[in-house]
Amino acid sequence: MNRTIDFSLEDRVAIITGGAGLLGVRHAEAIAAAGGVPVIADIRRADAEARAAEIAKRFDVRAMGIECDITRAESIDALLRTVLERAGRVDILVNDAANNPKVETPGQAFSRLEKFPIDQWNADVAVGLTGAFLCAKIIGSALAKRGSGVIINISSEYGIIAPDQHLYRKEELPDDQQPVKPVSYSVVKAGLHGLTLYLATYWAQAGVRVNTISLGGVESGQPAGFLARASARIPMGRMAQPNDFQGALVYLCSDAAAFVTGANLVVDGGKTIW
């Protein structure tokens, strides 16, 4: 009887878009910890290279940091070419990059629906949704052609439930100036799971599994009042830590999830079930 479950990502090459961001680095660490080769693809070149060098040293693995703007097909083409030249293969695509407005941080711009600028909408959709589509089209097509691979779309609790705008409330402001999580964020995150469902069936017989991970909000220096309100809405009583998603990512990327496609794995401390 086989007593092992195969969570290994030994030598598998994983492109992580937005890989230099708060969570992208944690995704890269998880891939490295499971034996894989993380490729940090980010519009911020210096940060991508620096984070990859740190991970290569700390985990004693190959890791790459490559500049890429996922809103431009030619930039993704170049990314794929570079990875194939340098690593010889690609196995996993993690669509993580998004505009992620921190409404709860004082001094940040906020966007009520009535005045939400079309340019902001277009920019948010271009990165979070069109960028994920283009990466799936270009990198996913290469996986399908080869006959195996994994795509993970990083969504949010706000792809499943509406933001409770009371969380962001500032008592000193009148109602029509209250900050809100922008509408584009909900639309992008809900749309990503639609992309997952479409691709999961489209490539089911081509050996490419496609899944969503929906993350709860991460504690990252928000004001104490916000943290208390946000935590009270979560059955487990706290916001996520940046490394709370690593196990889910490794599982879905690995052969342990060989029969899992089109799923939405929700990692939110129970928030969306309340």
Q: Distance between CA 46 and CA 18 in Å, rounded?
A: 13
List the one residue out of 24, 31, 29 whose CA is nearest residue 8. 31
Amino acid at 72: R
**Is residue 23 part of the contact set for ligand NAD (CB under 6 A)?**
yes
**Residue 209 three-state SS:** strand
**Residue 71 three-state SS:** coil
Beta bridge mates, 95: 153
Amino acid at 150: V
Length of the chain: 274
Cβ neighbour number for residue 188 with a 10 Å cutoff: 27
Q: Which stretch binds ligand NAD (CB under 6 A): 55-63, 166-174, 201-209, 213-221?
A: 213-221
DSSP per position, 233-256: TSTTSSPBPGGGGHHHHHHHHSGG
* Nearer CB in complex with ligand NAD: 65/149: 65
Catalytic site includes residue 251: no
**Is residue 215 part of the contact set for ligand NAD (CB under 6 A)?**
yes
Among the listed residues 158, 185, 202, 251, the single catalytic one is 185
The secondary structure element, H or E, covering residue 22 is helix 22-33
Q: Which of 9, 31, 42, 52 is in the footprint of ligand NAD by CB under 6 A?
A: 42
From residue 227 to residue 256, the character string flagging contacts with ligand NAD as x (rule: CB under 6 A) and all else as - is ------------------------------
**Is residue 20 part of the contact set for ligand NAD (CB under 6 A)?**
yes
From residue 65 to residue 84, the character string flagging contacts with ligand NAD as x (rule: CB under 6 A) and all else as - is ---xxxx-------------
Q: In angstroms, what is the minimal distance from the CB of 100 to ligand NAD?
A: 4
**Is residue 167 part of the contact set for ligand NAD (CB under 6 A)?**
no
Share of the chain residues as helix, strand and coil, in percent rounded to the nearest 5: 50, 15, 35
Q: In angstroms, what is the minimal distance from the CB of 206 to ligand NAD?
A: 25
Q: In angstroms, what is the minimal distance from the CB of 83 to ligand NAD?
A: 15
Q: Which of 15, 31, 127, 180 is in the footprint of ligand NAD by CB under 6 A?
A: 127
Q: In angstroms, what is the minimal distance from the CB of 129 to ligand NAD?
A: 11
Active site positions, annotated: 185
